[in-house]
Structure formats: structure tokens, C-alpha cells
A and B are shown apart, each in its own frame.
Chain A
């Protein structure tokens, strides 16, 4: 039962990793951009949520009403004024610019919020749990986080395949120059994709902050978890990122059960193992 409990907790954490991954997967799908600052943007969202809860007196979930649009706006602006200039044949500019952004964000957060660990306080919900069986119970918060992750991915999936915006994303991803010929402004479409990516990041950041302590240095590890979930799940497949997140979460939980020092290592090893046996991921969709 102990083991089952660990695995169930791992699955639920996997939802959070899927949220990290979904934003990353989305912008890669639309514009082949890999955002190295993605993890730091998640942490930024957590800090913005902290500031919102403190100034407006709302709970972490209530702060989403502010943080989601705010992060989307940051994403659109960032894409239009900085990242669009880096897109092209050469890999270096987007990687190095987002890498520079990552360093700026980490140190900016350090400057403003210090290196102290923070946490978002969600109140009673944090300790509430639903007993399932002897020795196995589901925390309300992890469960909620998992449900939100599934809902966000379902929402993204619907947006991608059933709305004009999703069509524009797919068309621009297929052939950016022909997309312009049908009246789509690439720069705007890419801006929207980044806005959406950071809106998802905002949700991820809030749940990250409620779940555990955070400080300005933890962004890169979130980038890596998201990245691993994307690769495990298969490029370009949103439901795949959920599967990838769950596999990563379970691997970490099982590793932690064996030895607390093995938690992160087990997750990375699971990723490397899947990369070795199935480099295209479990459920690939996009080539290249």
C-alpha cells in the first residue's frame, strides 16, 4: 500500500509536470522555439502570485485571475519585441537570447525577492485529503492540481483543433510563408502562441508555489522537468506531455521511495532510458 501511495502521488505530481511541459511544447510546435527561460518564467509567475496574494488579499487560486492575463501579456510583449527577432534558420539566437533572459530573470527575482524560500498559502485545502483505502488517501490539493492540468491540456487540445486561432497556429507551423499569403501575420500569431504558453505557465507557477517552497534559483530544474515530459511524451502531442509528466512523476516518486537522494536522479534516468530506447518519444506527432 505504501508503494501504491507513492505511485499515486507521483501520478498527481505528473499533472504539474505536464503543465510545465504544455507551454514548452506549444511554442515549439508553433514556431520551433525552445525557450530556455521557461522554468524561470514559471517561477516568475509564482512570485507574481505571491505579490498578488499579499497586496490584494486573495488566495492563490484567486490570484490566477490576475496572473494568467498578466503572464499572457508578458508573453505577447516578449515575443513581439524580442523573440520574433531571433527566429530564423540559425539555432543560436533564440537559444542564447532565452538563456540570457533566464539569467536576467533569476537575478532580477533574487534582487527583488531575495534568496529566501517562499510559499503560497492556500489555507485548509492544503491539508485536506480524501481517504481511499487503508494507508491510501488523495490530497485534495494534488488532486485539484491534476484535474486542472487535465482540463488545461483538454482546453489547449480543443483550442488547437477546433478554433480559428488553433487553425492559425497549425497553418503557421506547417508553412509560415504561405500562412502570410492567407492573411496571417506571423509576428502576431507567434505573439499569441507565446501569450498562451505563458498563460499556462501562470497556472503552473501558482500550483508550484502552493505545493512547495520556491526560490529564484529553481527555474532551470522546472524547465528540465517540462522538457523531459515533452520528450518522453513525444514532440507535438499535448496528451503525450501529460503521459510524459506522469511517467516522470512516478519515476521520481519511486526513486524517492528507494532513497530520498534518488528522487530527481530517478526521473532523469527514466528520461534517458526512454531517449535511448524510443528517441521519438512514446506518442510522437511532429517530425523534426
Chain B
């Protein structure tokens, strides 16, 4: 077992009066790829948003690289090395492709990822670098969103639904690049609807159900039946 990078303990999260997470605990080790699966509304995106600082939490509920980061503001958490690729990509529409990538680099963290390396990872972006990000296809926009997050040289990259609304061939293409990201020393956590894809890409899997962890284990050892049971609570 590798050294723990992120540890979430007993995390609770609220939207106003509505509680979305009930005591979620999980760990992500250095160099790991962790998949978070679960039905719609199970709290997967909420979990990522809370880790990334978009939803407040208790200070000691989230520990990253040995330091409590729960409840810090999002920009502070990025600078400490946790980057989120948000659901729906959320590119800056008045910025060009290259500017979207550059702004990711403004967090000021040094590391392997540069504009050149991102273009190396996603060559399709290089020729479109001067275009407004909004003009790109969905798959290319997703590449920009991942590249933008990588530009902050995160130690942990959280990818929320990166295959949403994309053609299977594009999804396969994007997933094929993830090992190159891990090879640069970045751990990954992915929220994914497609269980087969999630299990194939990850080393460890957590299944959330109604705001609680219903199942956790190594991706190879988990059967689809067990996941289905955890998914629907049967």
C-alpha cells in the first residue's frame, strides 16, 4: 500500500438544510487511480466539490499531504496541489484554448506540466490554441478542462464525469491518456457513470449510495454483482 495522499474522514456536506454526505471516509494513495461510482444523487460530485473547497466542510474532515485542508477556500486548495476538472467542463468562454490552459498555470505551482507538455498529451489542442474554447467539440473541450487542471501541476487530480455527453470513441481516447498523467506522479480520482470503464481505469473503487460509502475495495477484486448491489442498495 502506497503512502496516503488524501484522507477523508467522516465527511458531512450540506446544501443549505439538505444533507448530501453522511460521514464519508476514504483514502487515496500516491500514484493511485481511485474510481468513485454510484447512482445519480449518491453524492459523488458533492464529494469532489467538498474536497476542492467549493462546499464548506470541517477542517479535519479532509487531510491532504498530512495537512488538514477541509473548509479552506477553493483557490487555496488548488495551490496546495488538488485540482478539480469540474462536471460540465466549465471552460472560460471569453478565453482562447491556450488562455484557458495558461490560466490553469497561474496557480504558481512548479512541475512537469507546461503548455508544451499539455499539447503533447492532447495534440488536437495545439492547432486550435487560438480559438475561443467554446468553439471546440465536446471531446476537445474536455481535453482543455483536463489540461487546464494539469497546468496547476496537481499532486491529486479529481475528474468529475469526464465522459459525460461524449462519444464512446472519444471517451476511450481520453481514458487512454490518463496513465500518462499518473506516470508524471499525479494521483487520480475519477467520478464515472460507466462501471466497466471505471473499474478498468482504476486501482481502487468506492461506491457511494445516498451519501454514504456502500462499498470499497481493489478494482480487480470487486465483482460487478457486488457493485450492482452497492449501487442500488439491494
- The answer on A and B forming one complex is yes
Flag if A184 contacts B90 (CB, 8 Å).
no
**Complex CA–CA separation, A175 to B86 (angstroms):** 12
**Complex CA–CA separation, A171 to B93 (angstroms):** 8
Flag if B54 contacts A180 (CB, 8 Å).
yes
Q: Which chain A positions have C-beta within 8 A of B74? A: 177, 180-181
**Complex CA–CA separation, A31 to B106 (angstroms):** 20
**Complex CA–CA separation, A186 to B103 (angstroms):** 14
Does A173 interact with chain B (Cβ within 8 Å)? yes
Does A276 interact with chain B (Cβ within 8 Å)? no
**Complex CA–CA separation, A181 to B92 (angstroms):** 12
**Complex CA–CA separation, A138 to B52 (angstroms):** 59
Flag if A178 contacts B86 (CB, 8 Å).
yes
**Complex CA–CA separation, A167 to B108 (angstroms):** 15
Q: What total of chain B residues lie within 8 Å of the partner, measured CB to CB?
A: 27
Does B193 interact with chain A (Cβ within 8 Å)? no
Q: Which chain B positions have C-beta within 8 A of A123? A: none
- Stretch in B11-19, B29-37, B94-102, B219-227 touching the partner: B94-102
**Complex CA–CA separation, A183 to B78 (angstroms):** 5
Does B104 interact with chain A (Cβ within 8 Å)? yes
**Which residue of B is nearest A161, CB measured?**
B99
Flag if A181 contacts B79 (CB, 8 Å).
no
**Complex CA–CA separation, A266 to B95 (angstroms):** 39
Within 29-67 of B, Cβ neighbours of A (below 8 Å) are at 52-54
Q: Which chain A positions have C-beta within 8 A of B149? A: 182
Known: A174-B94, A177-B54, A178-B86. A183 touches B106 (CB 8 A): yes
Interface string of B150-181 (1 = CB under 8 A from A): 00100000000000000000000000000000
Contact partner, B75, options A164, A170, A174, A183, Cβ 8 Å = A183
Does B212 interact with chain A (Cβ within 8 Å)? no
Most buried by A among B52, B95, B106, B148: B106
**Which residue of A is nearest B145, CB measured?**
A178
Q: Which chain A positions have C-beta within 8 A of B79? A: 183
Known: A167-B103, A183-B108. A178 touches B75 (CB 8 A): no
Within 66-120 of B, Cβ neighbours of A (below 8 Å) are at 73-76, 78-79, 83-84, 86, 90, 92-95, 99, 102-104, 106-108
Flag if B104 contacts A182 (CB, 8 Å).
yes
**Which residue of A is nearest B52, CB measured?**
A181
Known: A177-B54, A180-B73, A181-B52. A167 touches B99 (CB 8 A): yes
**Complex CA–CA separation, A259 to B88 (angstroms):** 59
Least distance between A159 CB and chain B CB atoms (Å): 14
Contact partner, A182, options B93, B94, B103, Cβ 8 Å = B103
Least distance between A214 CB and chain B CB atoms (Å): 37
Most buried by B among A171, A180, A183: A183
Q: Which chain A positions have C-beta within 8 A of B95? A: 167, 170-171, 174
Q: Which 6 A-B pairs rank lowest in CB-CB distance, beginning with the nearest?
A: A183-B107, A180-B74, A183-B78, A178-B90, A174-B92, A171-B92
B interface, CB within 8 angstroms of A: 52-54, 73-76, 78-79, 83-84, 86, 90, 92-95, 99, 102-104, 106-108, 148-149, 152
Beyond A164-B102, A179-B92, A181-B52, 19 additional pairs, beta carbon < 8 A: A167-B95, A167-B99, A167-B102, A175-B93, A178-B90, A180-B78, A181-B74, A181-B78, A182-B78, A182-B103, A182-B106, A182-B149, A183-B78, A183-B106, A183-B108, A184-B75, A184-B106, A185-B73, A185-B76
